[in-house]
Structure 1
C-alpha cells in the first residue's frame, strides 16, 4: 500500500481535488438553479447534459490521446473544465448551463480515461489492485468532502463557483509535473449491444436501468433537496449519504458476490434499495429517515454496477471480457442520459417525492427482472464464476478493462494454487 502511495500520490491527490470540483459543481448547480428560478424540468435537462457529454467523451477521448498524447489531452480538458466552472454564474440560463454540462461531462470523461491509464501504467502486477482500490476511495472522499465545501459560501454568489475552478486548476499541477509519459494508448473495441444481450440479458437490461438510477442520484439529488425544502446543510448531508453508503457497502456485497448465486444477490440488493427509496417517499419528512434511505440507496445501487459486470463475465471467456466491459459501460451511459429527464418531468408533475419514486421503480424493476431470469437458465457454479472487482459507475472504460484484467489474473492464480500439488 505504501509503495502505491509513493509512486502514485500526485495522481491520487490530483484526482481527489478533481472530484472535489466535480462533486461540488453538480450539487451547487442544483441549489443555484432553485435560486435562479429554473423549473425542475429545466434542471433535469441540465443534469442530463453531463451524461451526454460523458458518454461522448468515453468514445472520443481514446482517439484524442492517440493523436496528440496524454499530457496535451489532460491539460486541454482541465483548462476547459476550469473555464466552464467560472462561467456558470455569469451565464445563468438553462440553455447555457446545458452546453456547459455537456462540455464538463466530455472533459471529465477524457480526464478519467487519461488518469486511469496513467495509474495502470505506474502500477505493477502486484500493486495494480491496491492502486485501483485507493483510486476509488479517493474519488469517493473527494465527492463527499465537496458537499462540505458547499457550506463555505453563498450559493447565490460567485465564490462557490470559483472554488471548484481553482481546485480543478490546482489538481493538474502535481499530476503534470510528476507523471512520466505512458506508452502507446489502446483500448478494446466494445461488443455490440446484440452480442452483449445474447451473452447476458440480465447484465444488459440491469445495467441500462441502473444507469437511470445512478444519474438520478448524481444529477437530481440536490434538485430534490431544494424542491423538498431542505436547508443547504441538509442538502449537503443528504447528497453525501449516497456516496458514504456506496463506499461502506461496496466491499461487504463484493464478499457475498464471490460466495453465492449472483442473481440472488442482485435480486436482494435491488429490492433492498427499492424499499429504502419507498421509505423516503412516505417518511421523507423525517430527515434522519431520509438520510438512512439515501445511505441504503447509494449503498445498494453503486455495488450493483460491479455485480452486473461480474455476472456478465461469468458467461464469457477471458479474452472476451474486456470488449464486453466496454459495451456495458456504453449501455450504462445510455440509461444515464434518460434518468434525470424522466425524474425531472415526474417531479414537475407529481412533486419532489417522484425523485425517490423513479429510483424505487427502477431498482424494483431490476429485482423483478433478475427473478425472471432465474427461471430461464441455471446459475454457473460459484467455483466457476469470475472475481468481483469494485468499480464506480463513473469510471471510464480504461478502469473497467483494468479491473477485469485483475479479476482474470486472480482467477488464474487461484486455479494454479488449487491444481498445484
Structure 2
C-alpha cells in the first residue's frame, strides 16, 4: 500500500480535495435549501438531479476524452465545477439548483472517468486492488472531512460556497502537474439489461435497490438532520457517522464474502440494515443513539455495492465480467435517480422518520427477494470444494465511475484466470 500511495500520491491527494468540495456542497444543499424554504420534495429532486447528470456524464465523458484528450477535458470540467458551485447562492430557486446539480453530476463523473483511467493505467496486476482501495478510501475520507467545514461555517452566507469552489480548483493542480503518462481511454462495454438479469436476477434487482439506498443516504441525510432540528455540528456528526461506518465495515464484510455464500451475506446485511433503520425511526430523538444508528446503517448498506458486483461475477465467465460493469452502473444509476424523490415524498407525508422508513422498506425488499432467489438457484458456494469464487476486490462506493468498476472487473478477470490456471495445474498428473 505504501508503494501505491508513493506512486499515485498526486492523484490521491487531488481526489481527496475534490471530495471535500463535493461533500461540502452536497451537504450544504440540504441545509441552505431549508433556509430558503424549499420543500422536502424539492430538495429530494435537487439530490436526484445529481445522479441524472452523473449517469449521463459516465457515458459521455469517454467520448469527449477520445476527441480532445484527458488534459483538456480535465481543465474544462474543473472550470465548470468551480463556477457551478459558487453559483448556487446567486439564484435561490429549487429548479435552477436542479439544473446546476445536473451539471455538477455530469462534470464530476467526467472527472472520475479521467482520474480513474490515469490510476488504472499506472497500476499493475499486483497493485490494482490496493490502488482502488487507496483511491476509494481517499474519496470516503474526503466526504467525512467535508462535514468539518460545514460545522464551522454559516450556511446562510457565501463562504461555504466559496470554499468548495476553491478546493475543487486546487484539487486539479497536483493531478495535472504530476509527471504521469496520459492513459488510453476506452468506452465502457455494456451487457443488455436482459443479459444482465439472465446472468443474475438477484444481483440485478439488488443493484437497482442499492442505488436508491445509496442516493438516499448520500443526498437526503442532511435534509433529514435539518428536519429533525439538529444544529450544524450535530448534522455534520450524523452525516460523518454514515461514511465512517461504511469505511469501518468494508473490510470485515469483504473478508466474510470470501468465506461464505455471498448471497446469504447480502441478504443478512440487508435485513440487519432494515432492523437498524426501524430503530432509527424510534430513537431519532437521542443524538448519541442516532450516531450509532447512522454508523451501522452506512456500514451495513454501503458495502453492498461492491458485494453485489462480486456476487454477479460468481456467475459470469471472465470474458463477460467487464461488459457486466456497464450494465450494473446503469441499473444502479436508475435506482439512484429514483430513490431521493421517493424518500422525499415519504418524508413530506410522515415527517423526518420517512428517511428511515424508506431505507427499511428497500432493504427488506432486497432481503426478501434474495430469500426467494435462494429457492430458485443453487449457490456458487460449496463447503465441500471450499469457496472457489474470485476474491472480493476493494471498496467501491455508488459514486464509482465506469472506469473504477471496470478496473475492479479487471482484477476479477485476472484473479479468475489465475485460479483457472492453478486448477488445471492441480489436475495434471
Task: Using structure 1 for the length normalisation, give the TM-score.
Answer: 0.98
Distance 1:253 1:354 in 2: 27
Aligned to 2:352, the other structure's residue is in SS state coil
The 3 A distance-change label for structure 1 pair 183 and 175 is: closer
Aligned to 1:396: 401
The residue correspondences of 1:57-96 to structure 2 (distance < 5 A) are 57-96=57-96
1:32-77: CA deviations, max 9, x gaps? 0111111111111111100000010111111111111111111111
1:316-345: CA deviations, max 9, x gaps? 100000110110011000000011101111
2:13 is the counterpart of 1:16: no
The residue correspondences of 1:94-109 to structure 2 (distance < 5 A) are 94-109=94-109
Distance 1:348 1:78 in 2: 35
The residue correspondences of 1:7-406 to structure 2 (distance < 5 A) are 7-382=7-382, 383-390=387-394, 391-406=396-411
2:416 is the counterpart of 1:407: no
Distance 1:193 1:380 in 2: 22
The 3 A distance-change label for structure 1 pair 240 and 287 is: same
Aligned to 2:86, the other structure's residue is in SS state helix
Gaps of 5+ in 2: none
Distance 1:387 1:4 in 2: 20
Distance 2:188 2:210 in 1: 23
Distance 2:109 2:205 in 1: 23
Distance 2:127 2:313 in 1: 23
Q: Is the 8 A contact 1:387 1:408 kept in 2?
A: no
Aligned to 2:311, the other structure's residue is in SS state helix
Q: Is the 8 A contact 1:70 1:181 kept in 2?
A: no
Distance 1:313 1:263 in 2: 12
The 3 A distance-change label for structure 1 pair 16 and 353 is: same
Q: Is the 8 A contact 2:310 2:392 kept in 1?
A: yes
Task: Using structure 2 for the length normalisation, give the TM-score.
Answer: 0.96
Q: Is the 8 A contact 1:36 1:92 kept in 2?
A: yes
- How many residue pairs match? The answer is 421
Q: Is the 8 A contact 1:258 1:385 kept in 2?
A: yes
Distance 2:100 2:417 in 1: 45
- 1:414 CA displacement: 4.2
- 1:287 CA displacement: 1.0
- 1:6 CA displacement: 2.1
Distance 1:59 1:188 in 2: 8
- 1:417 CA displacement: 4.7
Q: Is the 8 A contact 1:210 1:305 kept in 2?
A: yes
RMSD, aligned CA: 1.3
1:156-209: CA deviations, max 9, x gaps? 000010000000000011111114342431134210111101110001100001
Aligned to 2:5: 5
- 1:95 CA displacement: 1.1
Distance 1:261 1:381 in 2: 5
Aligned to 1:384, the other structure's residue is in SS state coil
Q: Is the 8 A contact 2:117 2:183 kept in 1?
A: no
1:98-131: CA deviations, max 9, x gaps? 0110000000111001000000111222222211
Aligned to 1:186, the other structure's residue is in SS state coil
Aligned to 1:89, the other structure's residue is in SS state helix
Q: Is the 8 A contact 1:26 1:219 kept in 2?
A: yes
Distance 1:128 1:328 in 2: 20
Gaps of 5+ in 1: none
